[in-house]
Structure 1
Amino acid sequence: METPITQQPVMQTFRLLKFTFVIVPIVAGADKFTNLLTNWEQYLNPSIAGLLPFPASTFMMIVGIIEIIAGIIVLKKAEIGGYIVAAWLTSIALTLLAGFNYVDVAVRDLVMAISAFSMARLSRVAA
């Protein structure tokens, strides 16, 4: 069955957001092991780092695994994965805002969270 012409922009938007939220979490998660894109530990709120029973680098690797899993969930079940990614990005933004560090990154993560939430909502009509 062919998609009506009015449905095409919705489908295209959904596919673009899905592609984004599969690739970006997987790449960012994998980079937590290599720090090629950035030194991820710098974004860890110092008060949280002080509470950890292990090094910040270990924590960031755990974060990386979570992000990779989130990207895979988006690939398999976009609606569920979208809500997970949105919640994850919101929590990251809130921890950055709590320490008033990297406010620009926090704002960007909130915008990405809204996009992931929107993708999850679109998946109900586009999938």
Structure 2
Amino acid sequence: MNSNVQLVKNILKYTFGLVPIVAGLDKFTNILTQWTQYISDGFAAMLPFEPTTFMMIVGIIEIVAGFLVLTRTKLGAYVVSAWLVAIALTLIFSWTYVDVAVRDLVMAIAAFSLAKLAEEKSKTA
């Protein structure tokens, strides 16, 4: 694999590995932001538990997804890409934080690109 392609792959791998882990851990501390603000009132009303509990579950999923990217890059990148699309669609359907939804869609494309780079490597191995 070309050294520039390998560099990009590694940058994306560590970005989509570490950022979900940090964001997931922050669902328990709310240091970066108050995560429950991203849950629409309508969705919060449907939850069988507190929004804080929901965000902790989200945090666990994000931590697992980040570790997947670091250990099984192709699979993890597809998971992160799908997760980001799901978050973006939720925000778009509630028409809240649409700017964050657009950003998450761009990040989903980048995570998908990482999956394709990892897929290419597995074809040549």
TM-score, length-scaled by structure 2:
0.94
- The count of aligned residue pairs is 122
Query: Aligned letter for 1:48?
Result: F
1:41, 1:57 within 8 Å by CA — same for their partners in 2? Answer: yes
Structure 2 equivalent of residue 110 of structure 1? 105
Unaligned runs of 5+ in 2: none
Q: Distance in 1 between matches of 2:118 and 2:17?
A: 14
Query: Aligned letter for 1:117?
Result: F
Q: Distance in 1 between matches of 2:41 and 2:61?
A: 21
Query: Aligned letter for 1:15?
Result: N
Q: Distance in 1 between matches of 2:99 and 2:51?
A: 22
Q: 112, 116, 119: which one pairs with 1:121?
A: 116
Runs of 4+ in 1 over 3 A off after TM superposition: none
Unaligned runs of 5+ in 1: none
Q: Distance in 2 between matches of 1:46 and 1:76?
A: 36
Q: Mapping of 1:65-104 within 5 angstroms? A: 65-104=60-99
Identity of aligned residues (%): 57
Q: Distance in 2 between matches of 1:106 and 1:124?
A: 27
Q: Distance in 1 between matches of 2:63 and 2:40?
A: 21
Structure 1 equivalent of residue 24 of structure 2? 29
